[in-house]
Amino acid sequence: MISAGDFRKGITFEMDGQVYQIIDFQHVKPGKGAAFVRAKIKNVMTGATRETTFNPTDRFPEARIESKEMQYLYNDGQLYYFMDNETYEQLPLEKDQVEDAIMYIKENDNAIIRFYQGKPFEVVPPNFVELVVTHTEPGVKGDTATGATKPATVETGLVVNVPLFVNEGDKIKIDTRTGEYLSRI
């Protein structure tokens, strides 16, 4: 059991027969009245988010989430196929289950698949990925005093703001947690 006073980002718990993950939380102690916890929670199976308040003494059963590293194989237009690296079993996932991560993953890359009671609900890409720039406009010479950036499309279709010196064909490093350009490789 976990109490609402112990909530932290990423913790998963069961409430009303559903599994929720803490996205954001804030302990509030008003001048008058009792303290409470304001939290933004996400239903891990449906992806719906909501904001709610809890009494710090409210207790909930902690949800057991399993994580497994799997290899992304291909997309057939509707489903995205991942392979278990140990058993070689293939797992087809719907677009809504992979949409947050698929722009950072190319074929044959590994990703973490999260499961609740054997059902996959989330794909987590590695924290940092290296992708090749497939399209970007040439930088304008002399426009570098302000640290200007330009949009660049990488091989997965993701558009990232990059410095003016990055060209097509360059390999860049991207932080998947923020979606920001880190460096040219």
**Residues 119, 79 share a domain:** yes
> What is the spatial distance between Cα 72 and Cα 70, in angstroms, rounded to a whole number?
7
Full domain range(s) for residue 162 = 128-184
* Residue at which a domain ends, from 12, 45, 60: 60
Helix (H) or strand (E) holding 14, with range, is strand 12-15
Please report, as a single letter, which amino acid is at residue 11. Answer: I
**Residues 79, 39 share a domain:** no
- Residues shown for the chain: 185
Q: Taking 80 as the threshold, does the pLDDT of residue 118 lie above it?
A: yes
**Residues 133, 152 share a domain:** yes
- In total, how many domains does the chain have? 3
Model pLDDT, residue 74: 92
Model pLDDT, residue 53: 92
Neighbour tally for 33: CB within 10 Å = 8
C-alpha dist (Å) from residue 65 to 50, 106, 120, 131, 150: 20, 25, 10, 30, 39
**Residues 135, 110 share a domain:** no
Phi, psi for residue 103 in degrees, rounded to 5: -70, -10
> What is the spatial distance between Cα 185 and Cα 172, in angstroms, rounded to a whole number?
6
pLDDT digits (tens, 9 = 90+) for 27-55: 988 888 889 999 999 888 787 899 999 99
**Residues 87, 44 share a domain:** no
Q: Taking 70 as the threshold, does the pLDDT of residue 184 lie above it?
A: yes
pTM confidence score? 0.74
**Residues 93, 107 share a domain:** yes
**Residues 137, 177 share a domain:** yes
* Residue at which a domain ends, from 17, 40, 60: 60
pLDDT digits (tens, 9 = 90+) for 90-101: 999 988 888 888
* Residue at which a domain ends, from 45, 60, 75: 60
Q: What CATH code is carried by the domain that includes residue 39? A: 2.30.30.30
**Residues 43, 20 share a domain:** yes
> What is the spatial distance between Cα 25 and Cα 52, in angstroms, rounded to a whole number?
10
Q: What CATH code is carried by the domain that includes residue 148? A: 2.40.50.140
**Residues 101, 78 share a domain:** yes
141-166 residues labelled b (16+ CB within 10 A) or e (exposed): eeeeeeeeebebebebebebebbbeb
**Residues 92, 49 share a domain:** no
**Residues 133, 155 share a domain:** yes
**Residues 12, 56 share a domain:** yes
